[in-house]
Amino acid sequence: MRATSPSPSTRRTGVDQDQKQDGPQLKFGVESDLRMSLGVVLILVPACCLMSGNCLAATLGRPENTIIGPEIFGDVTNFSTFLLDPSSGMLVLGARDAILAVDTNNMSKPPKKIVWDVPEDKRKSCVGKGKTEVDCKNYIRLLEFLGNDQIYVCGTYAFDPQCAFLNIPSFSLEKLENGGVKMETGKGKCPFEPSQHHTAVMADGVLYTAATSNFLGTLFDISRAMGPEQERIRTEQSINWLNDPKFVSSAFIEQPPDNNPTGDDDKIYFFFTEMAKEYDMYIKVPRVARVCKSDVGGMKTLQRRWTTFLKAQLVCEDKPSSQRYNILTDVFTIQHTPGDPSSTHFYGLFTSQWEPEDLSAVCVFSLSEISKVMNGPFRELKKTCENWINPEPVPTPRPGQCLTRALKDEGFESSLKLPDKVLTFVRDHPLMENSVTAAPLLVRKGLRYTKLAVMLTGNGGNQRKAVLHLGTDRGELHQVAVVDQNATLLQEIPLFSSQEPVNNIILHQGRALVGSPLSLAGVPAEGCSLYPSCEVCARARGLGCVWSTEDETCHAAQADPGPGDIVDQALRTCNTHAGRCHPSIQELRVTMGLRVLLPCVQLSPRPCSWEYPPHRHTRQHHSDLEVTVTEDSLGKYVCTCQEGGPSIRDPTPCRRAAYQLMLEDPSVGGVMAPRVGRHILAIYILFFFMGLLLGGFLIFFLTRKRAGTDLGHHETEKGRELLGSSATPQSPSSASLMSDAFRMTEKPNGTTSSTTTTTLLSNQDNGGHHGNSHSNNVINSKPSNGHALYVNCSTLSSELRLNSEILIANRLDGRTGEGVMSERESREGDELDERLGDGLRDGMKGLEEEFASFPMFKSPAPLAKCEENSI
């Protein structure tokens, strides 16, 4: 704990500016006494904290988590692109004006570094075009393996994208004869602006990209950006093809030669969100687009344009609740059966355009479902009435299909030999009629997920067990177990500061490499031994984990879990009476007029319902319930949510939370803190007053003694008073340096609200939100399966406020009677009184700030605003 007070140099400067002929010695002495008394107070209060056991609270990361940041990376920031070499464990990071290489086997080892910045003249030219100094740097946005121990590196290069070649063994950029970096244009490969969305994938040494293609960022291309010049093809500049897309991800699906009976071509898939042209409203839709690797464009129509470009809409929707998530933010590609491309699944991370609050959902789409839609009917816009209808008969061979062995036998060895009618049709009909639909695996409200990585567990072709690693915009990593239709939150691991969103997650050898713009973390991500408690291990029961009561560890079970609610059964074996669907009732003691928010956190997209007294005043916020306490609203409140059942259309009810609202005894005089909290508060107050009393007496006696000495030295013959009757202080109601107010905690909005408002935050067994808050009055329930804390934000009738004036009694220099002062002496006394008051006021202000920083008076989490819309 660090005490904050004005620095000695600052105080000395103030004294020098206000010096008078007879004042400097006295003022310095009073100031020394003030520092002494404040020191005593600040020593007593931490001692009180230590006695109460609640002052020194620290959050320590798990020892197996490795986090490196600016202390290792130095001044290199803005990490945006990761590339991992699985064979060596080397992780290449693309940053601003630099490229780093981190050894993931020893992350504390200093990384290798390459500086690739922009020349000064080019930077000034960029600024002269209206761009900012920060943006006119070289942000590394693309890293792809080229083969031959080389990495293809592209950067924004002051809004003039450039690419270079990185030699892996020497970790250096290839140079020209004159010593400069060997570069080639990066237009169409790398975005112009650091914040623009793009994606790229390497397929057999050829780069396929989706990015902006002009300086203004108004043109977009999906292109083959490498290879012979005549084979570098791209999309048509038409809003039917791409309409203001936000590119998210790409994947290369290779057909193995030994398991490809039809001779089908390899394909590249691109995922993005764009403005929908097929609707009559301004709406964003997620898309998946597909092109074929052997496509070289048409002979006359679609010259150097894709002849196989097709796209379809992705629909992530919970049909029972009619909730649709329409903005795609990330996609993770994985094969459910390793080595079988047909088992490829795409896990998509979504949010909603229509939700005012943060919301995230995860849907999974299979490659077979996407291929089925791509082989289905086309959607057509009839020019006369601008309505989408089913198209006329499709020409032969089918437009947009990849070359197969059958097509080659018919004479279509290349896309250059396709008829013009086929090419014209695919040019005008890139959109498919049907959509690829999936139900969300999980939905989280109140937070935003930014990145997703998936780890499958178990064996077998029908893989239905997975662990989702989700990065948040607050620097956290969440692990969620998905078994069949049920999602269970396992852990929430804070890694970075709340200002560092997670922007990269790579799974490698049982570890999750998690990145932010400033830091890198290595987190264990595989094995039951990662789960530190019985409750967390019980939530992973569907993954084959079981808790051992003998050695208190979580390990893999010998047998698969049986039927039924295995998580609920496993939770019952822990030292708790509450299960996943059988929570214990939390008793909440409340007062009239309070607004209580009863949380019901769950991951299922299905709605939640509440059971409550018939006469009540409530309002539901998503799954949480707001209750205004009246005589009729007292009673039992139970939240029941629909969980995933054996099938999507067969959900099962699960009780998620239960509360009992009870009226506090009116004789208590309001909401009281729990007994332990009252004891701690009493100790704080006791030592606080003792410290203030001791400091006040020290100031009084030391000031009196020093003033007497100085006065006797300067004016022994006059026998006059230091302070005249005109400066006589007003006596307080108590003998301490206290008025009747002291602000223990500041309101979040800086004002005091007179509205009686209560906020309830709960830490649930299902791994829901964790939060705490403090305010003027604190009450709490009996936590059986969680910790509840709710605060009353009403204004107290009186506050405790440190007095900013010092009390100095009249002294008659050993005599009794009323002293008489000259005009000059009276003025000097007034000025001295003012200086003393100012000095102590500054000291008391620092003391107020110090007490406001104590955990008892200030919560580590921000206080919720005492308003209706922020409960």
Q: What is the pLDDT of residues 770-790, one digit of tens each?
A: 433 333 333 333 333 333 334
Share of the chain above pLDDT 70, in %: 67
> Measured between alpha carbons, how far is 377 from 357 in angstroms, rounded to an integer?
37
Identify the pLDDT of residue 855.
Answer: 44
Cβ contacts of 384 within 8 Å, gap of 6 or more: none
Higher pLDDT, 12 or 285: 285
- Residue 539 lies inside a defined structural domain of this protein: yes
pLDDT higher than threshold 80 for residue 111: yes
- Please write the tens of the pLDDT for every residue from 463-475: 568 999 999 999 9
User: Computed over its alpha carbons, how large is the radius of gyration of the chain?
Assistant: 35
Cβ contacts of 276 within 8 Å, gap of 6 or more: 243, 283, 284, 285, 313
**Which residues are registered as beta bridge partners of 636?**
660
Q: Give mean pLDDT, residues 630-653.
A: 75
pLDDT higher than threshold 80 for residue 327: yes
Structure tokens at 445: 């409200």
Rounded alpha-carbon distances, angstroms, from residue 10 to 13, 39, 594: 5, 18, 47
146-160, 176-190, 804-818: least confidently modelled range: 804-818
Residue 160: alpha-carbon gap to chain centroid: 32
Phi/psi of residue 416, nearest 5 degrees: -65, -20
Burial class (CB in 10 A: 0-12, 13-18, 19+), 67: middle
Phi/psi of residue 811, nearest 5 degrees: -130, 135
Helices assigned H by DSSP within 375-480: 405-409, 420-428
The closest alpha carbon to 249, from 307, 194, 210, belongs to 210
The closest alpha carbon to 688, from 52, 54, 57, 42, belongs to 42
Structure tokens at 64: 């197996």
For the ranges 41-50, 681-690, 703-712, the maximum mean pLDDT occurs at 681-690
Q: Are the C-beta atoms of 95 and 76 separated by less than 8 Å?
A: yes
> Measured between alpha carbons, how far is 213 from 192 in angstroms, rounded to an integer?
8
Structure tokens at 788: 């509840």
Please state, as a whole number, how many other Cβ atoms lie within 10 Å of the Cβ of residue 547.
Answer: 23
The closest alpha carbon to 643, from 632, 628, 655, 635, belongs to 655
Higher pLDDT, 400 or 859: 400
Q: Is 871 helix (H, G, I), strand (E, B) or coil?
A: coil
- Residue 535 lies inside a defined structural domain of this protein: yes
Please report, to the nearest 10 degrees, the dihedral formed by the alpha carbons of residues 136, 137, 140, 142 taken in order: 30
620-634, 641-655, 847-861: least confidently modelled range: 847-861
Q: Are the C-beta atoms of 304 and 279 separated by less than 8 Å?
A: no
> Measured between alpha carbons, how far is 270 from 293 in angstroms, rounded to an integer?
13
Q: Specify the number of domains making up the chain.
A: 1
**pTM score of the predicted model:** 0.68
- Please write the tens of the pLDDT for every residue from 190-214: 999 999 999 999 999 999 999 998 9
- Residue 45 lies inside a defined structural domain of this protein: no
Scanning the structure block, which residue is given the tokens 């020209």? Answer: 176
**Which residues are registered as beta bridge partners of 68?**
520
Scanning the structure block, which residue is given the tokens 């948040």? Answer: 472
Structure tokens at 106: 């020893």
Q: Give mean pLDDT, residues 372-390.
A: 73
- Residue 532 lies inside a defined structural domain of this protein: yes
Structural domain range at position 557: 524-572
- Residue 553 lies inside a defined structural domain of this protein: yes
Higher pLDDT, 371 or 559: 371
Q: How many CA atoms lie within 13 A of 699 on its CB side?
A: 29
Structure tokens at 654: 């699960």
Which long-range contacts does 121-128 make (Cβ < 8 Å, 24+ apart)? 122/157, 122/158, 122/160, 123/158, 125/158, 126/158, 126/159, 126/160
Structure tokens at 93: 């990071």
Phi/psi of residue 388, nearest 5 degrees: -80, 130
Q: How many CA atoms lie within 13 A of 180 on its CB side?
A: 6
Identify the pLDDT of residue 501.
Answer: 96
Q: Give mean pLDDT, residues 647-669.
A: 70
- Residue 610 lies inside a defined structural domain of this protein: no
Higher pLDDT, 544 or 114: 114
For the ranges 27-31, 557-561, 639-643, the maximum mean pLDDT occurs at 639-643
Tell me how far apart the terminal alpha carbons of the chain are, to the nearest angstrom: 32
pLDDT higher than threshold 80 for residue 152: yes
Identify the pLDDT of residue 748.
Answer: 37
DSSP string for 614-634:
SS--EEEETTEEEEE--STT-
Query: Is the link from the previous residue into 862 a cis peptide, with omega within 30 of 0?
Result: no
Cβ contacts of 376 within 8 Å, gap of 6 or more: 432, 433, 434
Which CATH number is 540's domain given? Answer: 3.30.1680
Rounded alpha-carbon distances, angstroms, from residue 357 to 50, 126, 351, 444: 41, 37, 10, 11
How many residues are recorded in the chain? 871
Scanning the structure block, which residue is given the tokens 């839609």? Answer: 373
- Residue 510 lies inside a defined structural domain of this protein: no
- Residue 556 lies inside a defined structural domain of this protein: yes
Please state, as a whole number, how many other Cβ atoms lie within 10 Å of the Cβ of residue 84.
Answer: 18
Identify the pLDDT of residue 780.
Answer: 38
